[in-house]
Amino acid sequence: MATLLDHLLKLTDHRDRDHLELTLSKALIDLLPIERVVMARVLSEEGSRRWLEIASLDARGGGKLIDPLWVDFGALRSVDDDKSRLQCLQSQAKVELAWAGEEGPRITYLPLFADNPDDDEGVVEIHSGAVLKPEQQATTDALLHVFRNMYRLLAYSDRDALTGLLNRKALDDTFYSAVLEELGESIQAQQAAPAPTDASGQERRHRVPPNYWLGSVSVDGFDQINDKYGNLVAEDVLLLVARIMRNTFRTYDRLYRLGGDKFAVLMHCPEEALVLAAFERFRVNVEKFKTAQVGGVTICAGFSRVSAEDSPDSTLARAERAVDFCQSSGANQVASHGELVRRGLFTP
């Protein structure tokens, strides 16, 4: 049986944050006499806050890990619908829900991201048949302490120093470890399935379009802003754009600063029209804001669908072509690379 030290080593072996919650869940299930553990994080979209159970494990062997990019936000429970989780979140302290006496079965809630600088919010939900003993609680505290330290360390290496958004390294990591892997598996599954035939007996092959999209964003006239007002004012503009990005896009959309005035968004969305609508909301929100030094600021955005044959460079190149088209056509615009191809303005 694995020891506490073994599980601490597993937590510190990670080089990305995507599986830290699952590793913590496995450690708690293995080391404590508990029935179930759930890692619940808060997702936000247009002012609405909901719970996502990103990882859950059962002592009898069942469990799941959910990628936030695939989440149906509307199907999640509102934060206000779970009072015990909300109390733990707000107090940043342990909360216990016992329903059969003080020593009987209970759910213990603990803050997952105590004092986290990236403003992540979540709770650990531990289902047990009795009160955890002091030494068991100490084990839980030690695991959570290491989890939080590792999360902060990995978050720091993935973040842009100025804006706090994800950096290019984080984009490459997600692109290769999650997006392309899922798209490749989807295509393999389709190829393995028997191909349907039409009335003449000929095969009809339908490739389901991948639903990942990568968008590029640039600030209109940024070089002129920098030349006229100086670096500090230009950095304030970048911070403004980053803040509006966070307030516009969904919590589980991945937001990046790639350097200079270049930003990017990686999202999972079923339709091109919905992606266009999201970037249009962002463009309008930036346009509405007036700064004391510069006045109005605008952006151009372009986006492209990700295919299994893509790399981050190739997808970004298509999105940035769409940005260049917008800026050369008057600025303050959003364009889909795919739509520009369909209109005959770009070659595929």
CATH number (domain holding residue 72): 3.30.450.40
The pLDDT value given to residue 269: 87
Residue 266 lies in a domain: yes
Do 103 and 172 fall into the same domain? no
Contact 250, 44 (CB under 8 A): yes
Query: What are residue 124's phi and psi, to 5 degrees?
Result: -100, 130
Residues 94 and 148 both lie in one domain: yes
Residues 162 and 254: beta-carbon distance below 8 Å: no
Per-residue confidence (pLDDT) for residue 180, from 0 to 100: 62
| Window from 201-215, 236-250, 259-273 with minimum mean pLDDT | 201-215
Over range 6-24, report the average pLDDT: 79
Between 208 and 73, the higher pLDDT residue: 73
In a domain, residue 323? The reply is yes
**pLDDT, tens digit, 9 for 90 and up, residues 162-203:** 998 999 998 988 888 766 666 655 444 444 444 434 333 433
Average confidence (pLDDT) over 43-63: 85
Task: Give the pLDDT score at 210.
Answer: 52
- Both tokens of 178, joined, read 């999650």
Residue 72 placed within a domain? yes
* E-assigned strand segments in the chain: 34-45, 48-58, 63-65, 95-98, 106-111, 122-128, 212-219, 254-259, 262-268, 290-291, 295-296, 299-305, 334-336
Single out the residue of 224, 221, 264 nearest to residue 242, CA to CA. Answer: 264
125 domain residue, yes or no: yes
Domain shared by 177 and 278, yes or no? yes
> Are 118 and 249 members of one domain?
no
Question: So what's the pLDDT on residue 198?
Answer: 39
Q: Summarize the confidence of residues 310-335 as an average pLDDT.
A: 95
Together in a domain, 250 and 322: yes
Phi, psi of 11 (to 5 degrees): -65, -40
To 10 degrees, what angle do helices 134-158 and 4-13 make?
10
Residue 164, Ramachandran bin (φ over 0: left; ψ between -120 and 50: alpha; else beta)? left
Is 126 part of a structural domain of the chain? Answer: yes
pLDDT at 205 over 70: no
In a domain, 348, yes or no: no
Angle between helices 272-288 and 231-248 (to 10 degrees): 140
- Whether 200 is in a domain gets the answer no
Residues 143 and 212 placed together within one structural domain of the fold: no
16 CB contacts (<8 Å, ≥6 apart)? 154, 158, 173, 177
pLDDT over 50 (residue 280):
yes
What is the sign of the dihedral through the CA atoms of 20, 165, 52 and 273? Answer: negative
How far apart CA 223 and CA 209 sit, in angstroms, is: 38
Domain span at residue 153 reads 4-158
Task: Calculate the average pLDDT of the chain.
Answer: 85
Tell me, yes or no, whether 198 lies in a domain. Answer: no
CATH code, 306:
3.30.70.270
Percent of the chain with pLDDT over 70: 87
One domain, residues 226 and 313: yes
The answer to whether residues 20 and 152 belong to one domain is: yes
> How many folded domains does the chain comprise?
2
